[in-house]
Amino acid sequence: MHRLRTRSSWSRGGIERHQQKELASLRAFAYANSPFYQQFHRGLFNAPLSELPVLTKRLVMDNFDRLVTDPKINLEEARNYLSLTAQAQNKTPRYLGRYEIAATSGSSGSPGIFLFNEQEWVTVMASFGRAREWAGQRLDLTRRSKMAVVSSTNDKNISARVGKAADSWFLPTLRLDATRPLDQLVGDLNRWQPEVLVAYASMAYFLAHEQLAGNLTIHPGKVFTSSEVTTRTMREITEKAWGKVIFDEYAATETATIGAECRQHHGLHLFEDLLIIENVDEHNRPVPVGVFGAKLLVTALFNRSQPLIRYEISDRVKLSEIPSASSSCGLGYPLIEAIEGRREDILVMAGKDQSQVQLYPNVFTDLLDTLPNQGWQINQQEDGSLQVLLVEGNPAVEEDAVRARLVKTLVERGVAAPKIEVEKVGAILKAASGKSPLIRAYYSEGDHY
């Protein structure tokens, strides 16, 4: 943690020099120890990063045993270890005595498996710790500070492993499974009275409604949201419940923290001392700041066990036009202005003349967030129709009126005769991880990325 703390004062030039030094070291190590990279980058060992091929999750998993740099690592054994870890009640030894392993959710296809040795895991934990520090929460060794984490408790998920690792005398941590009924979570939180709350963005939003209704009575000094897009309405409701103490964090299983808010709340600072982040279009060409890219290409500078060089993450991100040098917080790290979600959050619907229309999440948030409701979700069915769920709230919200507005909006965007069903429900459906995604797009098996 001390090593990362000293980097907060680095200038932009210092960050870029560090990146180039670490990138050269990473590539040299990968070329010497990974049979996959010896072939994947053949003839490109001295090429600039921008000329290297893109690494997808499917490529990682199809070439797992050849990509990792420790010949003792085996995909089948790693999968078996993860299965045992998920079922274990107590802490399990590290894989091969030295590796922490986590899996992606598989929402965009088959789950990916990613591992970190002891030193790399320290960096993973420090990245999450730094996100807390940039928000103003610094560990005080003279007093205890109670934390509650409402996310997955399945240890194959990195959020669960980080939450378990954070539990200590200084930071006693209550880990709650986000899949449990909301009233049970409210009861546990009321008894625990956390000073710090960490939760999926959707869960923080639901808990904020419970706080405003008087059912939840906690007073956290910091609320950290992650794992899902935090919409403007989500932030407004959580701030109404607890004040301006909400800090968004952007992380991935493969890379740990990618970006985090500081106390100025003017965007998420990219962790560019740990990662090289390229915001690109569909053809892997850089996009200018202030424009949404189609995906990110991320190079993890700290991971030698499973090198990830130009690894594709299908998030649509817009980098801020505010130069890091002019940021009032003094950090030299660029800012993310907005995150629009992953490719899996984009609905594809039939358009006119047999065309296809892509609908980004903001099409629906701009409309549904203006309604007096306590949450919503869109589920795309196999036939392309949409099931729109509205959490019961204001009886003045009529399903037929909502449907008519949605149909009008989609037709204006080129969708041909959209089929939409609107239904009021008591609660939003959760995924197996406990997340409540706003958009659940339908993809056939062959469409998975």
Helices H, strands E: what count in the chain? 13, 20
Residue 264 pLDDT greater than 50, yes or no: yes
Q: Can you say whether residue 341 is alpha, beta or left, with left for phi > 0 and alpha for psi between -120 and 50 degrees?
A: left
Q: How far apart are CA 235 and CA 222, in angstroms?
A: 13
DSSP-derived 3-state class of residue 338: strand
Residue at 448 is within a domain: no
Residue 366 pLDDT greater than 80, yes or no: no
The reply to whether 330 and 355 lie within a common domain is no
Q: Which of 310, 326, 343 is the last residue of a domain?
A: 343
The reply to whether 291 and 391 lie within a common domain is no
Mean pLDDT over the full length of the chain? 87
The reply to whether 334 and 358 lie within a common domain is no
Cβ neighbours, 10 Å, residue 19: 18
CA distances from 355 to 75, 282, 385, 449 (A): 41, 18, 16, 21
**Span 133-148, mean pLDDT?**
83
Q: Report which of residues 92 and 209 the model is more confident about.
A: 209
Residue at 78 is within a domain: yes
What pLDDT score was predicted for residue 222? Answer: 95
The reply to whether 382 and 323 lie within a common domain is no
Residue 415 pLDDT greater than 90, yes or no: no
The reply to whether 164 and 242 lie within a common domain is yes
Q: Which of 273, 308, 343 is the last residue of a domain?
A: 343
What pLDDT score was predicted for residue 82? Answer: 85
**Span 396-410, mean pLDDT?**
85
Residue 446 pLDDT greater than 60, yes or no: no
Provide the pLDDT confidence category of residue 110 given band limits of 50, 70 and 90: low
What pLDDT score was predicted for residue 89? Answer: 57
What pLDDT score was predicted for residue 286? Answer: 97
**Are residues 390 and 396 in contact, defined by beta-carbon separation less than 8 angstroms?**
no
Residue 345 pLDDT greater than 70, yes or no: no
Provide the pLDDT confidence category of residue 444 given band limits of 50, 70 and 90: very low
Containing 61, the helix (H) or strand (E) segment is helix 57-62
What pLDDT score was predicted for residue 307? Answer: 99
Provide the pLDDT confidence category of residue 88 given band limits of 50, 70 and 90: low
The reply to whether 30 and 126 lie within a common domain is yes
The reply to whether 361 and 299 lie within a common domain is no
Q: Report which of residues 344 and 207 the model is more confident about.
A: 207
Q: Which of 343, 370, 400 is the last residue of a domain?
A: 343
What pLDDT score was predicted for residue 448? Answer: 27
Q: Report which of residues 324 and 334 the model is more confident about.
A: 334
Domains contained in the chain, number = 2
CB contact set of 405 (below 8 Å; sequence gap of 6+):
367
What pLDDT score was predicted for residue 409? Answer: 87
CA distances from 98 to 32, 93, 94, 102 (A): 21, 8, 5, 14
Number of residues that this document lists for the chain: 449
Provide the pLDDT confidence category of residue 226 given band limits of 50, 70 and 90: confident
What pLDDT score was predicted for residue 254? Answer: 95
Cα R_g (the chain), whole angstroms: 22
Residue at 394 is within a domain: yes
Containing 410, the helix (H) or strand (E) segment is helix 399-412
The reply to whether 163 and 33 lie within a common domain is yes
**Are residues 386 and 419 in contact, defined by beta-carbon separation less than 8 angstroms?**
yes
Provide the pLDDT confidence category of residue 185 given band limits of 50, 70 and 90: very high
**Span 132-159, mean pLDDT?**
83
What pLDDT score was predicted for residue 449? Answer: 22
Helix/strand/coil (H/E/C) assignment for every residue in 88-156: CCCCCCCECCCEEEEECCCCCCCCCEEEECHHHHHHHHHHHHHHHHHCCCCCCCCCCCCEEEEECCCCC
Of the chain, the percentage scoring pLDDT greater than 90 comes to: 51
Residue 96 pLDDT greater than 90, yes or no: yes
Give the least confident one: 30-44, 219-233, 282-296, 367-381.
367-381
- Report DSSP letters for 10-57, one per residue: --HHHHHHHHHHHHHHHHHHHHHH-HHHHHHTTT-TTS-GGGSPPBPH
Let me know if 3 is exposed, middle or buried by CB neighbors in 10 A (0-12, 13-18, 19+).
Answer: exposed
**Span 195-205, mean pLDDT?**
91
Provide the pLDDT confidence category of residue 317 given band limits of 50, 70 and 90: very high
Residue at 150 is within a domain: yes
Residue at 449 is within a domain: no
Residue at 177 is within a domain: yes
The reply to whether 325 and 377 lie within a common domain is no
Provide the pLDDT confidence category of residue 130 given band limits of 50, 70 and 90: very high
The reply to whether 228 and 356 lie within a common domain is no
Q: What's the CATH code of the domain at 403?
A: 3.30.300
What pLDDT score was predicted for residue 445? Answer: 36
The reply to whether 372 and 236 lie within a common domain is no
What pLDDT score was predicted for residue 295? Answer: 94
Q: What's the CATH code of the domain at 275?
A: 3.40.50.12780
What pLDDT score was predicted for residue 170? Answer: 84
Residue at 301 is within a domain: yes
**Span 361-376, mean pLDDT?**
73
Residue at 306 is within a domain: yes
Provide the pLDDT confidence category of residue 247 given band limits of 50, 70 and 90: very high
Residue 393 pLDDT greater than 70, yes or no: no
DSSP-derived 3-state class of residue 295: strand
The reply to whether 310 and 294 lie within a common domain is yes
**Of 254, 244, 264, residue with least CA distance to 320:** 264
Residue with tokens 């790290």: 333
Provide the pLDDT confidence category of residue 443 given band limits of 50, 70 and 90: low
* Token pair in block for residue 36: 């996959």
Q: Report which of residues 84 and 40 the model is more confident about.
A: 40
Provide the pLDDT confidence category of residue 447 given band limits of 50, 70 and 90: very low
Of the chain, the percentage scoring pLDDT greater than 70 comes to: 88
Q: How far apart are CA 257 and CA 164, in angstroms?
A: 17
Domain limits for position 420:
346-443
